Structure formats: C-alpha cells, structure tokens
Amino acid sequence: MKKVIAATGVTLTLALSASVLPANNDAGNEAHAATQPYYNYTGYTANDSSFFVDPNFVRAVKYHNVTFNGYKIQGQHQAVPNSTKNIQVYDQLIAINKETNNAVSASFPINQGQISREAIENAYGTDYEFASEKNSKDTGMMTYEFDGSTVNIEIYHNMADSATIT
C-alpha cells in the first residue's frame, strides 16, 4: 500500500508541476549571441612568434578581429591612397588611416627559425599564392586571402621571416 501511495504522489507531483509551467518557456528559448573570435597581442612579436600559428590567432585573423598593442587591424578597405601614416609600436609597424584614425595593417618580424612554412600551412591551410624571385621554391612571399583581409608572409629558406596583416 505504501508503494502505491508513493507512486501516486510522484505521479501527481509531476502532473501538477507540468501544468504550472508556462506553455512558452522563454528562459529555455533564449538566443545566445555568438562570440566572435578575437586576439589581442601585446609586446614584441620577434621574442616569441609562436602566436602566429596559434589556432586562436588564425581564427581571429579570418574574422578580422586582431589587435596589436591597442590597434585593431581594420583591413585594407580602410586604406585610402596617400592617406596613411606609419607608426612604430614595439617591433611592429602599424599603418593608420589619417582620416579615420583606424589601423589598416600591421607588419612585424617573426623570430627567424621559429616558424616553418609547413607549420604555416598546417595553421592557415594550403590555399595560398607563393611568389618568388628566380623561381625559388623555398624563398618568397606566401599570400593568404580571407574574405577581405590578407596575410603576407616572407619566407626565407622555408622559414617565416616577417608578416603583414591587412
């Protein structure tokens, strides 16, 4: 008899709690804002260049959401011919649109011998252009295009030497 009363009590509790809930449970249907990948770099890039192939950095580059020492890189669409000024911040050269004061690009050294061309391909993919003088296979410029932003990487003997993000 106790089991029947307990089972009836559980069933009755479930039935009542289900009927008390509102038909449209707004709390369960909230849309959450998607967070856009970002990367904020502070300091000298040549000291430890491993950030350049960090998956979080690569995602932030693809989403145009990279900041170097307080300057968010807005991309080439912000550039106006003869309307940029360059400023040196640590070891980076930041191009600034004089009219909007937005950062257009960041150029920076990469610790020679730290990042191989293979590591770059693993991080950014193999869909890039390679331009070289004298048809060199191991020295030249790798260029990646990501929906409005560009990453240029100077390669010397299959190792990254410097990069520019626009």
pLDDT one digit per residue (tens) for the chain, 166 residues: 444 444 444 444 444 444 444 444 444 444 445 688 999 999 999 999 999 999 999 999 999 999 999 999 987 665 566 788 999 999 999 999 988 889 999 999 999 999 999 999 999 999 999 999 888 999 999 999 998 889 999 999 999 999 999 9
Helix H or strand E encompassing 111:
none
Beta-carbon contacts of 113 under 8 Å, excluding residues fewer than 6 positions away, are: 159
Q: How far apart are CA 128 and CA 56, in angstroms?
A: 20
Write down the pLDDT at residue 99: 86
Where in the chain are the domains? 39-165
DSSP 50: G
